[in-house]
Structure 1
Amino acid sequence: MSLTSEQITLIQESFAKVAPIKEQAAELFYGRLFEIAPEVRPLFQSDLKEQGAKLMATLGMVVAGLRNLEAVVPVAAKLAERHVGYGVKAEYYAPVGSALLWTLEQGLGEGFTPDVEEAWASAYGLLSGAMIEAAHGPSSAVTEGVA
């Protein structure tokens, strides 16, 4: 799976609209994540404001690097390997993706078109698949429905 140039442009343009409200976006994201996947809440022992800043910075880096996936994917894979040590399981990636898309929908409003949603879902599927494979092995990526 790969991303088209048009999808990358949609992702980058839509993220540029969310970036100015990154603190609120992070709050929405974690609120939604804990609502749909309460089992992940204990993984977040640190300050959620600080965690949200890290999340948005990482998203910004990934979004900026989408035209160079060969460089982004290995960094994402290393991040996933570290996350295993925090207790992250392969099955947590699906609700994270769901919470991300929901947050983008809240932040973008009418700008969250079907094409924008598809582009983000494709990018998340690509990266989360690589992350799950790196951290949990190839069979986990398939069974979690992101491959």
Structure 2
Amino acid sequence: MTPEQIALIQQSFAKVAPISEQAAVLFYDRLFEVAPSVRAMFPEDMTEQRKKLMGMLAAVVGGLSNLDSILPAASALAKRHVAYGAVAEHYPVVGATLLWTLEKGLGEAWTPELAKAWTDAYGVLSGYMMSEAYGAQPQAAE
């Protein structure tokens, strides 16, 4: 991620933060629509879960300029998710759902450049989290 991408992500998230409750509702409604099997991993009352999601996103977005500062929490989160039943195949679905939610929440402010910045950030973090949760990814032969 470039410093410009980090700035774009942080600026866009500042626009989402005031509507965080609605954004979290959009996110989980969409997630359960596209991946209904994951619904069983969550509590019936999603109020606290929605707050946790937005708090985690705020911490990650705030820490993008110093990635090492957020990696320990990302590692712990990834390992907890394994205990909840999360598998590697869930990560792309969650990523697509996050991007969809941001696009809906930001409307016209969602540009191809912003989409790429968020996609790159999610790719870096989800790749790290999957390696922490499920072990190192196989290396290509040289």
With the shorter chain as reference, the TM-score category is over 0.9
Percent of aligned positions with the same letter in both sequences? Answer: 58
Q: Shift of the alpha carbon at 1:46?
A: 4.9
Residue 75 of structure 1 is matched in structure 2 by 73
TM-score (norm 2): 0.94
Residue 131 of structure 1 is matched in structure 2 by 129
Distance 2:27 2:83 in 1: 22
Residue 55 of structure 1 is matched in structure 2 by 53
Q: Shift of the alpha carbon at 1:47?
A: 2.2
Tell me the matched-pair count.
139
Note if 1:12 corresponds to 2:10. Answer: yes
Residue 65 of structure 1 is matched in structure 2 by 63
Q: Shift of the alpha carbon at 1:36?
A: 0.9
Q: Which runs of 5+ in 2 are unaligned?
A: none
For 2:29, give the aligned amino acid. G
Residue 100 of structure 1 is matched in structure 2 by 98
Structure 1, residues 33-68: CA drift from partner, whole Å, max 9, x if none?
111111111100252121001100000000000000
TM-score (norm 1): 0.91
Residue 145 of structure 1 is matched in structure 2 by none
Tell me how large the CA RMSD over aligned residues is: 1.3
Q: Which runs of 5+ in 1 are unaligned?
A: 143-147
Distance 1:104 1:41 in 2: 21
The DSSP-based 3-state class of the residue aligned with 1:138 is coil
2:88 pairs with one of 87, 90, 100: 90
Structure 1 stretches of 4+ with a deviation exceeding 4 A read: none
